[in-house]
Structure formats: C-alpha cells, structure tokens
Amino acid sequence: MTAASIDQVFVNAKQALLSLLPETLRPGLSMAINAAAILGTFALLFAVATLLERKGLGRIQNRYGPNRVGPFGVLQPVADGLKMLIKEDILPRQADRVVHFLAPIALVLSVLLAYAVLPFGRNMAPIDLDAGVLYFFAASAATELGVFMAGWASRSKYSLLGAMRGIAQMISYELPLVLSTLGVIMVTGSLSLVEIAERQAPPAGAILGRWFVFTPWGLAGFLLFMTAAVAEANRAPFDLPEGESEIIAGHMVEYSGFKYALFFMGEYLGMFAASGLAITLFLGGYHAPFAFLGWAPSWFWFFAKLLALLAVFIWLRGTLPRLRQDQLMNFAWKWLLPMSLVNLVAAGVWSYSAAWTLPGAGFVRWASCAGLLILPALWLSRGWRARVGPRVYRYA
Amino acid sequence: MRTVIEMVWIVPVLPLLAAGVSALLPRQRRRTAAALAIGAMAAGFLLSCVAFAATLQPAAPGAPFRLVRNFEWLQFGSASLALGWVLDPLSAGMLVMVTLVGALIFIYSLGYMAHDPNFTRFFCFLAFFASAMLGLVIANSLLLLFICWELVGLASYLLIGFWFHKPSAAAAARKAFIVTRIGDLGLLLGMVWLYRETGSLLFYDQGQGCLEQAALSKLVVSTTLGGLALSSAIGLLLFCGAAGKSGQLPLHVWLPDAMEGPTPVSALIHAATMVAAGVFLVARVYPLMQAVPSGAAQVSTALQVVTWIGACTAIFAALIAVAQNDIKRILAYSTVSQLGYMMMGLGVGGVAVGMFHLMTHAFFKALLFLGAGSVIHGCHEQQDIRHMGGLRRLMPVTFAAYAVGMMALAGVPLLFSGFWSKDAILHAAHLWPLSKGPFVLGAAGALLTAFYMTRQMCLVFFGPNRAAHASAAGGHVSAQPHESPAVMTVPLLILAVFAVGLGFLGSPAWPWFQGWLEGSTTHFQAGHLSEALPTMLLSALIVAAGMAAGWWLYGRAPRQSPREADALQRLQPGLYSILAGRFFVDEFYAATVVRLNAGAALLSDFLDRWVWGGLVRLTAWLTGQFSEIARMADEFLVNGGFDLGCGRLRRGGRFFSGLQDGQIQHYLSVIGLALAALVLWLVWGGAL
Amino acid sequence: MTPLPYWLILSSILFAIGLAGCLVRRNAIMVLIGIELMLNAANLNFIAFWRYGSGAEAAHGIMFVLFAIAIAAAETAVGLALVIALYRLRRTVQVDEADALKADDKPR
Amino acid sequence: MNPVFFILAVVTLAGALGAVALRNMVHCALCLAVTFIGIAALFLHQGAQFAGLVQVLVYVGAVAVLIVFAILLTRSGDARKGVAVFSRSWKTGLLTAAATLATLVAAIVNSPGLLREAPRAPELSVRQIGLDLMSQWLLPLEILGLLLTATMIGAVILAMPEKPSGEPAPGPEKGARP
C-alpha cells in the first residue's frame, strides 16, 4: 500500500465501481457516486461537529459538555438526530405552506451544490470547472434566498426581522469574501480550484510548502476570508440573525423537527464549504505543510485542516461576544471591504516584485507588502481602537 | 398839460361804469340809474371842457394841437397790437358836443320815459351807448375805433329795439344792425389791409402811425387793381363803413325805420352822435383819403366818391322827406340828407367844413327831435302829422324851440347856425375844381329842405287841430294836447340857444372853428365876408324860395281833416306817390338783395340738408355696410373658419393629451406595438 | 443540438411574457420584473446567436450578455430605488395611480 | 428536440408565467428566481459557462434579493383583497404582447436562413474571456465600472429616507455611541 495508492484509494474505488456499470450510464453514475460520497462524509462530519462543538464550548466554559449519551457523549448526535426526526413538524396557521416547506430545501441544496468544486484530495475534485471559484460563489448565492423564504414564509415579525438581518449581513460580507479570493486568483491566474491547489504544492527539494498563507497578502487574505466566512455562515461573533438571546432562532423560529434540522445542517455545511475553500485557496489545499510529511494521503491533509478550522470556529463561538447590527455592518463596509481592496493591491505589488533581483529583494518585498497592509489596517480601525477600553458595566 | 391826456380816458369809462352798475340794479331802482347816467355825463362834460380848454393853446404855432397816449394791448409772438387815445381839436370838439347833447337828452328822457316800466334798463343802455361813442371819438388806433364802432352799433340795436314787444321795433332793430354790419365789413377789410400795408393801426405814433407821412408816402406809391392808389382803395373801404353807419345812399334804409325807438334815442343816436360817427371816421382818416401821388394836384378818387355819394344822398333824402306824413320820419330823412351834405362838405371843403356842419346839425337836429318828442308826448303818442295841427297855441314853448330848430335847419340867413355851415359847404362845392354837379345838387337839396320843413311847421303847428277827427274815427277819447313838463322844455330851450349861437363860430368873417381845427390863429376880418357874399346871397335866395313854396301849398289853405289829400298830391299825384313810397328802395332791396339772400339761404339749406347731409348719411350707410361685412366675416369667416379650426385643433390636442396620461403601461404597449410594426416592416418591408 | 429557431421562439415567448407582465400588472415592481424577463429573453437570443453564429471564438455574444447582465442589474437597482422613493412619497406603487409629475408633498 | 432543452424551456417558461401571473408578489419574485436559474441553465446548456455562472451570481444572488427587498419595503407583499392586481386595460396589454409574439414568431418561422446546423461547441476558457475583456473590450468595461459606481451611489441616495427639508437623512452611525 504505497502512499499514492492510499491517497487515491477513493478514486480507484470509484473507478472500480464504475467499471461494473454499462458504458452509457457511466458519466451520470460517476456524478451520482460523487454526490453520494460528499453527502455521506459531510453529513457524518455534521453530526460529529455538533458534538465537538458542544464539547468544545463546554470545555471553554469550564464544564464537560454532553457526556450522558454514550461514552463521553459520543452518541449525543445520534440522540439529537433521532429527536429531530421524532419531533412534531409544526406549521404556523398563517404561514405560507409552500414557501415554508421549500425554504430549508433551497438553503441546503445551494450549499451542497457548492461542494461540487472543492478538491478534497488529489484527483478527488468532483468537477474540475474552469471557473471553479465563480461556480462556488454562484452556487452559494441562493442561500440568501433560502433565508428570506424561511423568514417571510413563517409570517411572524421576529422571523422576518431575523431574515432581514441575516440577508443584510450575508450580502454585506459576501463582497469582502469574494474580493479576498481575488488576490489568490490574480496570483495563480486561474479560477480553477484544482489548479490553485496544485500551485501551492511544495516545490521539489524545499521543505516548506508554498502555501499562500505564508505570503503577507496571503495571510491578510486568509484572515479577511475567514472573518467573512464566519459572517456568511452566521456563526459566532456574527450570529446576530439567530441570536438566541434576542430573537430566538431568527428566521428559523417557526421551524421545528426535521426542517429545523435541515437548517442546522445547512449552517454547518456552509461553514465546512467556506473552510474547504479557505483551505484550497490559502492553506495549500490537500498538500502537506512540510515535504517530509508528504507520505500522508492528500485527503487526510484536507480533512485535518478542515477539523482545525472547525476548532477555530468553535473557539470563536465560545469566546467572542455578539456584535450589534450597526457595528456588524460598519465592520463589513468600512473595514473589511477596504482592507480586501488593499490586499488586492498588495498581491499585485507582490506578484510584480517577484522579478526583483537586487540583494535583500525578498526582505524588501515582504516589508513593503506588510507595510502596505498594516498601515491602512491601523488607520481604518483608529476609531475603534480609541474607543476600545475596559468595559463599563452600567447596570451590573 | 401832460396830465390832461392822462385823464382823457376817464371820460368814456365813467358812463361805462354807470352802465355796468345800473345793469346790476333791480328794475325798481329807477332814480339811482338815472342819477348815475346823468352824473357820469355831467362829469364827462366837465372833463371835456377842461380838455377843450387845453387844446386852445396850441403847443407849436402852425402845427395842429395833438397829444397822444399809446399802450401795449396784445402781445402775440413777436408782433403786438397797440391801442391808444389822442386829444386834438377834432376829438375835443366831438367830446364836448357828445357829452353836452348827451346830458341834455338824458335829462329830457327823465320826463319822456317817466312812466316806462324798463326805465333803469333804458338808462343803462343810454350810458353804455355814451361810453362807446366817447371811446370812438378819442380813439388813436383804428382798432380801438373799430371796437367802439361795433359797441355803438350794438347800443343802437338795443335802443332801437327797446320796446322789443313791438314786432316793428324788433324788425327795425335787426334791420339797422344788419345794414350797418354790411358797412362794417368794408371797414374791417380796410382796417386789415391798412394793417398789412403799414404794419401799425395807430393813427399817430411818433412818426410810425398809419396816418403819418412815412406810412402815407408808402401807401400812395403802390397801386392796386385799375390803377387806384392804395390809400384811396383803403379809404374807400373805410368809407363803406362810414356809409353804413351814417346812412349814405345805398345803406340808408335802416335810419327811417330806426324811428321805432323812443324819441330821445332817435335824438341822441339818429341825429346827433352815432350817425355822425361815419362823418367823424372820414374826418379822422382824412389825411389817408386826401393823399394823392406827389405832384398830381387833382383831388383823390376817394374824396371824389365821397363827394358824389354825399351829394346824391342829400338830394335823394330831401325828395323823400317832402312826401312823409310821420313827424319823426320827416326828420329822419332830413338827417340823411344833412349827412349827405356833411360828406359832400368833407369831400369838397375838407375836415373843417364837414365838421362845422356836423356840430351845428347835431344841436338843431337834436332840438327838432326833442321838440317832436314833446309834440308826440303832448298828443298822447300820436305821430302822424295829419292828425295834428294848430299846436302853436297849445304848446307855445315847444313851438318856439321847434321854430328856432326849423329855421336853423332850413338855413335862414345870418341869425341861425345852419345857414353858416350849409353856406360854407355850398361855397366849397362852388369852388370844387372838378365839376359843378355837387354845387347844383346841394343847392336843390337846400331848397327842398326849406320846403319840407315849412310843410311840417304848417301841418303841425298852424291850421286847425285835427286830433278830434281821429278820436271820433279811432274810437278812443284823446285828451286835449298839453304842453310838456319843464324837465323836457328846458333842454329844448338850451339846445335852441346853441342852435343859434354856434353858427357865429365858423362864419367866413371870423372862421375861428376852422382855424382851431388847423391850429392857426384867427381874428375878425369882415373882408372875408365879401368874397363869400355871392354864395351867401344865393343860399338866402334859395331858402326864401323854398319857404315861400311851402307856405303857398300848406300855409295858405291849411288842411282840415286827416283824410284830406295832401296838397302836393293834388298837384303831382304820380310824383307824390313815388316820394311817399320812398322811391320803393325797400321794395327794391326786398326784391333783390333779400330775395337773393333768401335764395342763398335756401341753397345753403338745400346743400346742407341734401348734399352734406346726404354725404353724411352716405358715409353712415357705408360704415354700416362695412361693419355689416365685418360682422359677416367675423361670423362666418373667423368663427366658422378660424375658431372652428382652433376648436378642432383643441379637440385633437385633447385626444393626444389622452395618450400622455401618465399611465406608463400605455407607453409600454405603444412601444410593444411599435416593435411589432418595426419587425414586420424589417422582415416584410422590402417585399411590399 | 436543438435548431436555432427553437431558441428564438423560446426567447420570443419569454419576451412576450415579460411584456405582458409589464402591461397587465398594476404594481411597479411587477413592471420591473417584466422588464427583467424581457432583458433575459434578449440575453437568451444573444447566446443563441453566439452559439449558432459563426466565429464563436470571438465571444462577442458572451461579451454582450455579460455587459447586458451588468447593466440590467444596475437598472433594476435604480428602478427599485425609484419605486421605494415613490412609495415613500405617494404611499402607493400602483403604476396607474402614480400618473402625475406634480410634486405635492402630501401623500395621496 | 433535445430533452434537456425541453425541460429547461418548460421550467423557464413556467417560472416566467408564475412571475407574471401570481397574485402574491413574493411568490412572483421566487418564480422569477426560478426563471433566472432556468435561463442560467440554458446558458450552461449552450456552453456559455461563464455567462451562466455570472447570470446566476448576479440575478439569483443580487437582483432576486433586491426585488424581494423592494416588495417588502413597499408592502406590496401582503396583497390585500380589495386592491386590483391587474390594471384596467389588461386586455389591451395582453393583446399587444400577443401581437408582438405573433410578429416575432412569424418573422422567425419565415426566415429560412436560421435553420443552419450547430457548429462545434467552442472551447472558451475563463482566461480567454478575461484577456478579451482586458484588451478588446477594455473601454466598455471601464465605462461599465463607472456606471455601476454611479448607480450604486444614486440608488442609495434615491432610496434614502429624506429629512423634511429634502436632504438625505444622516446615517444611523453618526449619532450612535459604540
């Protein structure tokens, strides 16, 4: 079992399976297999993530988290899943039945479509589209519609208000999300995720992989991307739409039972998709960080990084307080957007200065790009830093 | 001396003020009106005497006495009209005569008009007339003279027509005014022509006046149509005015009819003053009339015309006077005849001769008229001499005064003024170089004058009183004729004294009056009498013959009844009827001028009514038609055409505005249809 | 591949539906939706002609579609902004009620 | 008749009809989204991959949401019974649309030139489109950029609630404390 064979185990399995089938159906079935594989793995990952999240939050809040169901609470997701299936699926009387029913489906569908492009391993990208990144964003565009349909269909003020906030937030953060990816696209010169991933492979002989995150603009881009991704998924500091303390579950307030579970899954899938993209663009996709670790299969690295990012999400959720709506919007339009534009400039400078041959060119490149990024960041956030101070508890 | 001329203008203004005040007085304030009028005349007479006295000492020997006072009356543009008054022997004499005679007549009319209801109005008119006459006399400008001349004409109209309720009086007043107006037209033309030629209407203006040598020489030189000298032409025109006012031959018809007025009026106006105005005018502008081109010694045509007209008028009026039965008409025609004599005197003898006869005539004619007035008053308004007779014993004072006046008029030699003044005229006529005609006519006139005056005396004062017959026929009981009261007879006596005394001033022996007029000193030379003797003897002879004839026809067999035929009528019935008919001049005028005038009036009426009126009606009709056409055009063309079009346009506009109604879906559908049409056209357009 | 006329007929039908939407519905937003449909029909035509036209490499059709999409998006944004402003001013988005340009402040 | 084309055509037309004919505005908007997706699919079916994706990204992502927001803001969503949905002159509207359709279809059917067979599917990569955009179509691209900026600013100002005196109201953050 060579590393390569382990790496390509899934690919080979699929090919084997396909060879059993008649020629004409092969293309369609290969798609089906891919879809089934994605669904299977990520549904499982969703279940595990819920558990990990509750365990992680518990640990952060100095408590255990669910440990009743199964050893160390391992079967908790199964219990949740079962509970969701058993719970009565309530439909508010004045709700719009059709749209109410379609909302979760639209949401989950659009998120799942986005997975079609992510390269989980070497040769394991379901479809290698030429405009991969564009497809990813196009697919995830429908999520806002889904959220709206959910919020509006249940015909209650809270759900509508939540939906409105959610959509506003998602639209505001979509822009920085897209712009931050541009840097990578500009440097690699291609929209295809597989090619981007290939570009980040460690060059022959070098120890450190050439991940984009190790470049100044790459790091900035990664940070911007992750922030926007968190907001896109309505997670942690940006989870105002379904902020439990204010408007309960926002647009999902009128949902219960399986439809609520679907929403929940949609949220986690959105999170995984965004992480997958981040991994592909900035963290070297399915490549190992160091050459010598090259023996581990490519998909292993992909899912390892995925879990690492999941941990970051959970960590963010546990620690950061929720942002107010206007702060949220201001942060998006007045900090993230300009910074992503500046990041583009930095990427441009970086790619042009690649040809410098002067001594110490490397250091100069780094310094200039870093300076080009840090100074605007400081200048833009001067307002907040001045106001950030010890929190005054007026009512405590 | 200077102060005299300064206050001369007061003389005419006093009566004017009196007239003004009495005009405002209510009708019953009779005494104040009379007092005002008589007072004004008396004051005027005193001032005139002062002025007369001033003229007695001539400033420079040989040159006639003349004081002039001019003032700027009207200023228009660069030209200006000046008026002024003058004091020279001519005006001084007239001033004294007019004021004296006027005063006496005013006193006389106190009695005569005593029981007339319009007493104040009468005196107001009299005062007004006096002021106009005095103004005329002292005028130094032809313009001022003309103004007063018109005022005098107006006064005569008012006074003749004083009893306007009598139709004959109203007609007589209108006739007098119109006839004199015709004469005044000539005067006006002459005045304007004179002004144009000489540039000034002032008579005497330090050498610039129109009667002074500079102007006269200019006038004489230029001639008008027919070679007539300009001065003569203007003179003749001025003479027309004089002829009208003084009743010369063609324009004398109004004077006898003017007897309709009260007798003092006849006396004052138609004997003494107004009729004399014409003669005074000729005397005033005598240098102009007399001027002849230098070198030619003959008499100027103007004077020749004046002489001949004067002579003809004298003989003509005398003839008519013979056959009149109204006491005042006989005197009126005698006045016309005497005026003719004065004109002839001016023509042949110059200013002095004419003016002397004027002065004497004024007094004895006024006397005769007042006498007639007293007779009429006495015979209870009876004017027809055929109903009188035998008043010698009934009205002795009137008879005496009247006899003196009659003898003065007839020209009884030596004692009476008439003889001297008429003789002077005859003498001058006799010396007239051009022809003996005027002399012969004058002599005949004198004969006739003596004849008809004796006829009148016999019929009025001698013979039986025929008043009773009239009463039986007339049906109204007439009281016995009675003598007039003192207030009437005293003026008669005063006038009688003057009628006698005045003659001696101008007799050939001592020609003081003529000398005074020329400014030369005169002293008594009996010798002059000898050269004038033949004419004096001749005229005495004529007067005697005339009186004898008169007495022969009327004195010897006095008339018994009013209806009895007149003596002359028995002798010459045809001639008598012609004379009684006044040569039918009125009828002639009526036949020609009046008819012509009536025709002209008819013509103008026709023109006015049919021609101009027609034109006006035509234009009115045309305008009507045009407006009709305009209405039709407006009705059909504009309303029908234009407005209709506008209405249609508006409706169309409303329809299209419907398209722009803000419904954007309409717009979109239009776009859709257009698209369809476009595609159709593009695809199949070519094939069509 | 389906022949070109089918594509054109499809886009015509889409265009007609969009036009009908504009003309029939009273709501301003529906008019905008109609306009969107018409624009998309046009894009469909462009792609169809690009696909069946000659010189597909030159990608003129696609370029047209790209620009058309961008501009249509801009147009929709402004259109909806206008509708919202109209609503705030007149409290109605019914097309046939907003037929006067007179700017009176009171919402009718 | 390619089955995929047929299905997509049916889906698109159904979506379009739904977008136009439904009473409830929000349903219309959703149907519209469906139509956009159908059209994007047709683009992909034609091989214009980039155009299809852009269509989805722009229309489904932005325009649909925009329309939905507009519906909510102008309260057209809660269709009250009384308010008439169709304009008074809907018959003429339909007639016009039908006329247009008839003419277009007639034109298409009667022009034989269109019946040419489909050429080979073109190989068009995103890079190629990018290069074209940046070279041959640079000016329109710049103008488009300018237009989009202007539109964004204009739309914001237009939709901003006005102060009584007419200027756009100040944004909430000016007054708010952190």
Contact C2, C71 (CB under 8 A): no
Contact B7, B84 (CB under 8 A): no
pLDDT band at B479 (very low <50, low <70, confident <90, very high): low
Residue A279 belongs to a domain: yes
Least confident of A263-272, B276-285, B351-360, B530-539: B530-539
Contact B429, B344 (CB under 8 A): yes
What's the pLDDT tens digit per position in A350-368?
888 877 777 777 788 888 8
Contact A250, A263 (CB under 8 A): no
CB atoms within 10 A of CB B494: 18
Residue A125 belongs to a domain: yes
Instruction: Record the tokens describing residue B421, joined without a space.
Output: 């003044």
What's the pLDDT tens digit per position in B189-205?
999 988 888 888 888 88
Question: Residue B107 pLDDT more than 50?
Answer: yes
Residue A110 belongs to a domain: yes
Question: Residue A245 pLDDT more than 60?
Answer: no
Give C-chain residues touching B669 at CB under 8 angstroms.
Answer: 23
Instruction: Record the tokens describing residue A170, joined without a space.
Output: 């998602």
The nearest CA of chain D is from the CA of A299 a distance in Å of 27
Residue D43 belongs to a domain: yes
Number of domains present in the structure of chain D: 2
Residue D45 belongs to a domain: yes
Nearest-by-CA chain C residue for D108: C5
Give D-chain residues touching B669 at CB under 8 angstroms.
Answer: 89, 92-93, 96
pLDDT band at C107 (very low <50, low <70, confident <90, very high): low
What's the pLDDT tens digit per position in A203-226?
776 677 788 888 888 999 999 999
**For B665, which of C95, C100, C101 is closest by C-beta distance?**
C95
Select the more confidently predicted residue: B303 or B514. B303
Closest by CA to B335, choosing from B242, B248, B429, is: B248
Which alpha helices (H) appear in B161-273, and where do they start and end? 167-198, 213-221, 230-246, 254-257, 263-267
Pairwise CB contact (< 8 Å): B680 & D103: yes
Residue C99 belongs to a domain: no
What was the ipTM of the complex prediction?
Answer: 0.62
Give residues with Cβ within 8 angstroms of A162, minimum separation 6. Answer: A151, A241, A242, A247, A249, A250, A251, A252, A253
* Amino acid letter, D67: I
Residue C72 belongs to a domain: yes
Instruction: Give the pairing type, strands B79-87 and B67-76.
Output: antiparallel
Give C-chain residues touching D48 at CB under 8 angstroms.
Answer: 47, 50-51, 61-62, 65
Pairwise CB contact (< 8 Å): D144 & C48: no
Contact B202, B82 (CB under 8 A): yes
CATH of residue D10's domain is: 1.20.120.1200
Do D5 and D70 reside in the same domain of the chain?
A: yes
Contact B386, B466 (CB under 8 A): yes
CA distance B237 to B653: 85
Contact C94, C87 (CB under 8 A): no
CA distance A369 to A349: 7
Residue D85 belongs to a domain: no
CB atoms within 10 A of CB B264: 27
> Which of C95, C97, C101 should one mutate to test binding to chain B, selecting the residue with the greatest count of B CBs within 10 A?
C95
Residue D98 belongs to a domain: no
Pairwise CB contact (< 8 Å): D53 & A167: no
Select the more confidently predicted residue: B296 or B488. B488
Give residues with Cβ within 8 angstroms of B115, minimum separation 6. Answer: none
pLDDT band at D177 (very low <50, low <70, confident <90, very high): very low
CA distance A270 to A229: 9
Residues in C 48-107 with any Cβ partner in D closer than 8 A: 48, 50-52, 54, 56-57, 59, 61-63, 65-67, 69-78, 80-85, 87-88, 93-96
Do D128 and D61 reside in the same domain of the chain?
A: no
What's the pLDDT tens digit per position in D77-132?
666 666 677 777 788 888 888 999 998 888 888 877 776 776 776 777 888 888 88
Question: Residue D172 pLDDT more than 60?
Answer: no
Residues in D 126-155 with any Cβ partner in A closer than 8 A: 126-127
Average pLDDT over chain A, rounded to whole? 86
Residues in D 109-138 with any Cβ partner in C closer than 8 A: 109, 114-119, 122, 124, 128-129, 132-133, 137
Q: Which residue has the tokens 């391993």?
A: A121
pLDDT band at D175 (very low <50, low <70, confident <90, very high): very low
Q: Report yes or no: A368 at the D interface, CB cutoff 8 Å.
A: no
Half-sphere exposure of A38 (CA within 13 A, CB side): 25
CA distance B402 to B419: 16
Do D69 and D128 reside in the same domain of the chain?
A: no
Instruction: Record the tokens describing residue C66, joined without a space.
Output: 């790209």
Residue A395 φ then ψ, to 5°:
-105, -10
CATH of residue C76's domain is: 1.10.287.3510
A211: helix, coil or strand? coil
What's the pLDDT tens digit per position in B263-314?
888 888 877 788 888 899 999 888 888 887 765 667 888 888 899 999 999 9
What's the pLDDT tens digit per position in D8-38?
999 999 999 999 988 888 889 999 999 999 9
Do D71 and D130 reside in the same domain of the chain?
A: no
What's the pLDDT tens digit per position in D155-170?
988 888 776 655 555 5
Number of domains present in the structure of chain A: 1
Closest by CA to D90, choosing from C24, A2, B296, is: C24
CB atoms within 10 A of CB B651: 9
Closest by CA to D140, choosing from B422, C68, C16, is: C68
Give A-chain residues touching D49 at CB under 8 angstroms.
Answer: 129-131
Do D71 and D15 reside in the same domain of the chain?
A: yes
Taking the complete model, does pTM exceed 0.90, yes or no? no
* Domain of D136, in residue numbers: 124-160
Number of domains present in the structure of chain C: 1
Q: Which residue has the tokens 């005494």?
A: B31
Instruction: Tell me the mean pLDDT in the region B458-470.
Output: 77
What pLDDT, on the 0 to 100 scale, is given for residue B675?
85
Closest by CA to B132, choosing from B234, B52, B20, B223, is: B20
What's the pLDDT tens digit per position in B120-163?
999 999 999 999 999 999 998 899 999 999 999 999 999 999 99
**For D161, which of C21, C29, C88 is closest by C-beta distance?**
C88
* Domain of A293, in residue numbers: 81-348
Instruction: Tell me the mean pLDDT in the region B492-513.
Output: 82
b/e sequence A70-104, b meaning 16+ C-beta within 10 Å:
eeebeebbeebbeebeeeeeebbeebbeebbebbb
Q: Report yes or no: B298 at the C interface, CB cutoff 8 Å.
A: no
Instruction: Record the tokens describing residue B223, joined without a space.
Output: 């001639």
CA distance C48 to C45: 5
Q: Report yes or no: C38 at the D interface, CB cutoff 8 Å.
A: no
pLDDT band at A255 (very low <50, low <70, confident <90, very high): confident
Select the more confidently predicted residue: A22 or B508. A22
CA distance A117 to A110: 13
Residue A50 belongs to a domain: no
Do D73 and D12 reside in the same domain of the chain?
A: yes
Q: Report yes or no: D24 at the C interface, CB cutoff 8 Å.
A: no
CA distance A343 to C89: 42
pLDDT band at B634 (very low <50, low <70, confident <90, very high): confident
CB atoms within 10 A of CB A160: 21
Q: Which residue has the tokens 């690295």?
A: A301
Chains C and A touch (3+ CB pairs under 8 A): no
DSSP code of D163? Answer: P
What pLDDT, on the 0 to 100 scale, is given for residue D167?
53
b/e sequence C70-91, b meaning 16+ C-beta within 10 Å:
bebbbbbbbbbbbbbbbbebbe
Pairwise CB contact (< 8 Å): B683 & D110: yes
* Domain of C21, in residue numbers: 4-90
CB atoms within 10 A of CB B334: 26
Give B-chain residues touching C11 at CB under 8 angstroms.
Answer: none
Residue A224 belongs to a domain: yes
Cα B581 to Cα B6, B574, B578, B592, distances in angstroms = 52, 11, 5, 17
Residue C13 belongs to a domain: yes
What's the pLDDT tens digit per position in A79-125?
988 888 888 888 888 888 888 899 999 999 999 999 999 998 888 88
Report DSSP letters for B560-588, one per residue. Answer: -STTSPPHHHHH-HHHHHHHHTGGGHHHH
